[in-house]
Structure 1
Amino acid sequence: MGQAAINAAMAALVGFTAKLLIGQANFPTDIVEDDVSVDFIIVGSGSAGSPVAARLSENPAWEVLVLEAGGAPPAESRVPGMMLYSMPDYGRYGYNYRTTPQKYSQFNYVNNANLFPRGKLIGGSSAVNFMMYNRGNRYDYDRWAALGNNGWDYKTVLKYFKKSENYRGRITPENTAYHGVGGPMTVESKRYGTPLAKAYLDAGRELGYPSLDTNAASQMGFNTPDVTVKDGLRQSAAESFIKPNLHRRNLRIQSDSQVTKVLFDRNLRAIGVEYKHRNRVRRAYARKEVVLSAGAVDSPKLLLLSGVGPRQHLEALGIRTLVDLPGVGQNFQDHPSIFGICWNVPKGMATSFQRLLGPASKIEYITKRSGPLSAPFGMEGNAWVRLREGDPTFPDMQFLIASLSIGVDFGLLISPTVGFKREVYNDYFKPYQGQEGFNIGPMLTVPKSRGSITLRSNDPADPPLIDPNFLSHPDDVELFLEGVKFALAIGNTTVMRERIGARFNDRPVTGCKHLSYGSDDYWRCFIRRMASTTYHPAGTCKMAPESDPGSVVSSRLLVRGVSGLRVIDASIMPFITSGNTNAPSIMIGERGADFIKEDHGFI
């Protein structure tokens, strides 16, 4: 059976099982008339677009239309433990993008590239991610403000994090000032963990790091993740912000509506969008503003297709340049991670597919909404540390422990999804296949490498060229070298060795066997071969003062050189945040909505 057939069979089984567990997922949508005219058009219903739409519709005098390229989320997307099973089948509800072949990294991945899926369904990537709720560090936002982006300092944005949050985690005197209660987005502490979860926290203490709420006063230490889950069900941005407000007559969402172009009048004011709905080209018009919340890949793509971007690039593709804006699609940032730093453990210590989908797990989930199916699959804990000289309160590395081994499924699902070459799997992972284990993945929180998003052609149906340019800056490799050593230290703690029975996979990795095993040069080789994406694209519509030649939007998220157009999503980040990007994207949506309200006289 080929990989495509395996993926299809797995997706069908998981979808059927999910419907038995929770019933058919549903999300009511609307069909709008041709050439509809509203006050605001929001392109995208993801992490940022959903809060923008919900907050603008609080004014009953404003008509708000959300255009979403995908359809309703499937049942399996609501069950937290099932997400990994669904990843290979993103074609049904995602953009199956791939990166360009990388020059400096990913040498053990097919075509030196990897799958780069983005959510194409109601809720966007918040409906298909691993639900981690990490805000990042206070310095992330103070650094944005220091560039000249007024109103983006940590003290200000903290109010917006709290505004969106309905926190159900453990409240203490130390963290109560940092959390919100009663907001639209429910955030819980992860409901289930294998024995590795507690062991990871104890390993941190053994190394001198506290266990703490990393979304509160300090980010430096180990934690059990907070997740965007409510009563055992995923809370996508659309589930949290849009769905509860669809009773408002001024808020509509239309699915299966792929926006292909922003429309401008002769004064370069955005007046609407052109989009494809059920194979028909249609238009919608905005009396006040068009808001692009399509994400750090598709928002710059839309600007470029609309004639806003680097003149040389646009003219080479036959696109008429309306505004020569060199920064569009540049400044691409992502968090590279290393896969393959693995340990094996005795049965029962880590995640297994059998326990996840076994009868006991299903019964516990149906009756209590708890157990393995209630938590992101295999995600046990995080740590943020500073490995180099500098501000001891600002991390340069994040570590994620995943309680699954690459070969636990005998190479059927995880390895093809991650994208390893078959010969790499056979050589490095196969000797341990079928065994339980865990992976500790170092992740650069503030990488120095920069990539780009560019157009492949002037055809909107063509996927863009996504070039993360991973590890193009040599400092990223050297910092990763320190990260590998710290990951090994975690796995070598007494807790991990004696309580969990961890045994390190010390086979030399494919492509590095000519180097002395364990030497710095060996690990540098390992890094360039095994590092890949954490699926956190950001920065491609940079927020910066007009004096910055790479600036795309102002501090109020207005696109430069035109009027009536904003970008509100992770693409506006001048520097990527030092953690998972979903929570900051929601905050950006909340902040951007307030800018719009202020500019149009509704406070």
Structure 2
Amino acid sequence: MPSHLDALRMIPVALIRLLLVVVMREVGENTYDASSKLLPQYDFVIIGGGSAGGVLASRLSEIGDWQILLLEAGGTPPPESYVPGFNQLLILGDADWKFYTTKQKNSFNGFTDNRIPYPRGKTIGGCSVLNSMFYVRGNRRDFDNWEAMGNPGWGYRDVLRYFKKFEDYRGKVTKETASFHGFGGPQTIENKRWRTKVSDGFLKAGKQLGYRIVDPSDPDQIASRPNLHVVLNAHVTQIVFENKRAVGVRFQHRGKSKAVFAKREVILSAGAIGSPQLLMLSGVGPANHLRYHGIPVVADVPGVGQNLNDHPYMTGFPWTIKNGSSFHILDIASPKTIQDYVHYRTGRLTTSISIEGYAWPMSEVGDPYWPEVQIAFLPFTVGDDYGLITSHVLGIKNEVYQQYFRNLVGMEGISIGLFLCRPKSRGTVTLNSADPFEAPLIDTNYFDHPDDMVAFIRGMRFALKLGSMPALKEDFEARFHDQPLPGCTHEWPLSDKYLECYARSLTGTTYHPSGTCKMGPASDPYSVVDEYLKLRHVSGLRVVDASIMPLVTSGNTNSPSIMIGEKASDMIKQDWGAPIMPLGY
């Protein structure tokens, strides 16, 4: 009988077998790269083919008289991205920008060099190719708060129609919930196809705490139309301005410098890291910072790269549970798992192998229905995979893995983590140099504001309480991994001081950066765009992606990013006198 290590060595062979099938059946030949027929000028040039940029390209190309160009720095999604269960394998791969944060003083103590990988999608589809495929709109209070901050038209009643517009919900509905969903849109949203047995214990534990069960879910797409050109591997290096009007872009494509121009607008959808970086490289941003790097100032816009919002995410308290209840990394190499997916599209590979469920406990401070934290339930522990994948992707120090997680190797378990929904701390994205091919400096600045840690500890205590519920403790024999965390052994176990130390050691990112091109009124000196997403102090340029969020939403950000793209496409059409397609088109 093969050992566990022998089985681990078999995984690449199993993956290759599966990928060959997937490539033949699903990927096919790339037919939408228009680099061979590039025009010198388009009506709209969109920078970035991620969730928001893809929506814009699709919606603007509905107007047959408009010529649209979408420039994407990455290539086609790698074949393994077509298999939902392989999402973690894409991080730090070719479809990732491979960014890292700067060293931190207040966090990341358990991560190598006190910094963490900061994955961002570098492929058509952007971060939606890398993410865990959870569909979460956020709390209605998030959007009402955006409007209250001086952004008319962005309240929940206004944005709800745009969520519904792109949705094609195929999950279970009742008379009470049918009105919450959209049907017939371009994005399929469905319930998880497969989940572990212990996830039922998670839901039951929530019920035992007095909570009701609600829902999240899936990814996105780009249309193919003759007036839409898509150029892959096109790394935009500069937005071209004439008299403070954006008139085109310069980009590198297959070793050559190229330029293309826009009759109407340039639209920047490069994400919360890429958008501020490109603006600053093009001369739009804090003037002193630009001059420091020798970049001529087109417009002094102090807020560019400021206001970085992200959800600090604690990797998760680990519990061991009885065998046959959760997930084990070796399972993805089993012949049955592969056969189920290849032939029947069933089994554990039909869904992302990461978080299986979310919970939003009522806030103990302020509005109880505007949660402070989001609880994440994972059907494995960091120690589950012999240190081959999870700890590497997260960037956990080897000594922390060896001393804290290693004795969980090969054991079935669960992790209950959390992220802070509405952090008060703010980070920054700044230039490392004027070189457009050099990664920017990403300073997350987690836990800088003292209120964040206080709220986070409240959430940690809720996670511990949830794990101790009979639905998990008795039904699944859940046993808390109470070994002291290295670096925190000087604190009394599970005291507030210990939990703070734990949080500062093992809290990383939830991959939800936003806010670095903040939407706000002219009276806000750090606002970068107005409510129409037009960049301040220049013309012919909008920013359309998660960077415009004044505050990050209380949940995963992929769905709100798509909503931003939908709403922006209608605003652009309205400004240029084009018809707007109705809901459900």
Fold similarity call, TM over 0.5? yes
TM-score if structure 1 supplies the norm length? 0.92
Residue 21 of structure 1, CA deviation = 4.0
Residue 14 of structure 1, CA deviation = 3.3
**Counterpart position of 1:137:** 139
Say whether 1:85 aligns with 2:86. Answer: no
Check whether the contact 1:19–1:76 (CA below 8 A) recurs between aligned residues. Answer: no
Task: Give, as a single letter, the amino acid of the residue that structure 2 aligns with 1:165.
Answer: E
Check whether the contact 1:25–1:74 (CA below 8 A) recurs between aligned residues. Answer: no
| Displaced runs of 4 or more, over 4 A | 7-13, 32-35
Counterpart mapping for 1:353-368 below 5 A: 353-368=329-344
**Counterpart position of 2:232:** 255
**Counterpart position of 2:184:** 182
Task: Give, as a single letter, the amino acid of the residue that structure 2 aligns with 1:249.
Answer: P
**Counterpart position of 1:324:** 300
Distance 2:145 2:20 in 1: 45
Q: Secondary structure at the match of 1:382?
A: strand
Distance 1:533 1:79 in 2: 24
**Counterpart position of 1:484:** 460
Distance 2:48 2:10 in 1: 30
Distance 1:9 1:60 in 2: 51
Q: 1:350 aligns with which of 326, 335, 352?
A: 326
Q: 2:73 aligns with which of 62, 65, 69?
A: 69
Cα gap change, 1:105 to 1:12, in 2 (>3 Å): farther
Cα gap change, 1:34 to 1:368, in 2 (>3 Å): closer
Say whether 1:426 aligns with 2:422. Answer: no
Task: Give, as a single letter, the amino acid of the residue that structure 1 aligns with 2:62.
Answer: E
**Counterpart position of 1:19:** 20
Cα gap change, 1:208 to 1:573, in 2 (>3 Å): same
Q: After superposition, what is the alpha-carbon deviation per residue over 1:82-134, rounded to whole angstroms, capped at 9, x for unaligned?
A: 1123324x2x1110000000110110101111000110011111111111110
Distance 2:422 2:304 in 1: 21
Q: 1:227 aligns with which of 210, 217, 225?
A: 217
Distance 2:399 2:211 in 1: 38
Distance 2:11 2:344 in 1: 25
Distance 2:23 2:252 in 1: 32
Counterpart mapping for 1:197-596 below 5 A: 197-213=199-215, 226-228=216-218, 235=219, 237=220, 240=221, 242=222, 245-246=223-224, 248-265=225-242, 267-596=243-572
Task: Give, as a single letter, the amino acid of the residue that structure 2 aligns with 1:409.
Answer: D
Distance 1:53 1:38 in 2: 12
Cα gap change, 1:111 to 1:8, in 2 (>3 Å): farther
Check whether the contact 1:35–1:282 (CA below 8 A) recurs between aligned residues. Answer: no
Check whether the contact 2:18–2:342 (CA below 8 A) recurs between aligned residues. Answer: no
Distance 1:37 1:10 in 2: 48
Q: After superposition, what is the alpha-carbon deviation per residue over 1:345-396, rounded to whole angstroms, capped at 9, x for unaligned?
A: 1222111122223111122212321210001103211001223221122111
Counterpart mapping for 1:34-49 below 5 A: 36-49=40-53
**Counterpart position of 2:170:** 168
Task: Give, as a single letter, the amino acid of the residue that structure 2 aligns with 1:120.
Answer: K
Distance 1:461 1:262 in 2: 15
Q: After superposition, what is the alpha-carbon deviation per residue over 1:201-253, rounded to whole angstroms, capped at 9, x for unaligned?
A: 1000000100123xxxxxxxxxxxx321xxxxxx4x3xx2x1xx31x210111
Distance 1:413 1:137 in 2: 33
Q: 1:99 aligns with which of 95, 98, 101?
A: 101
Distance 1:16 1:514 in 2: 49
TM-score if structure 2 supplies the norm length? 0.95
Distance 2:480 2:194 in 1: 25
Task: Give, as a single letter, the amino acid of the residue that structure 2 aligns with 1:254.
Answer: V
Q: 1:55 aligns with which of 33, 53, 59?
A: 59
**Counterpart position of 2:3:** none
Distance 1:392 1:172 in 2: 26
Aligned residues: 569
RMSD (CA atoms): 1.6
Distance 1:430 1:402 in 2: 18
Distance 2:302 2:552 in 1: 20
Check whether the contact 1:166–1:182 (CA below 8 A) recurs between aligned residues. Answer: yes
Percent identical: 45
Distance 2:565 2:13 in 1: 34
Q: After superposition, what is the alpha-carbon deviation per residue over 1:295-347, rounded to whole angstroms, capped at 9, x for unaligned?
A: 00000000000000000100000001110000000000100011141101122
**Counterpart position of 1:152:** 154
Distance 2:119 2:317 in 1: 23
**Counterpart position of 2:5:** none
Task: Give, as a single letter, the amino acid of the residue that structure 2 aligns with 1:354.
Answer: L
Q: Which runs of 5+ in 1 are unaligned?
A: 1-6, 214-225, 229-234
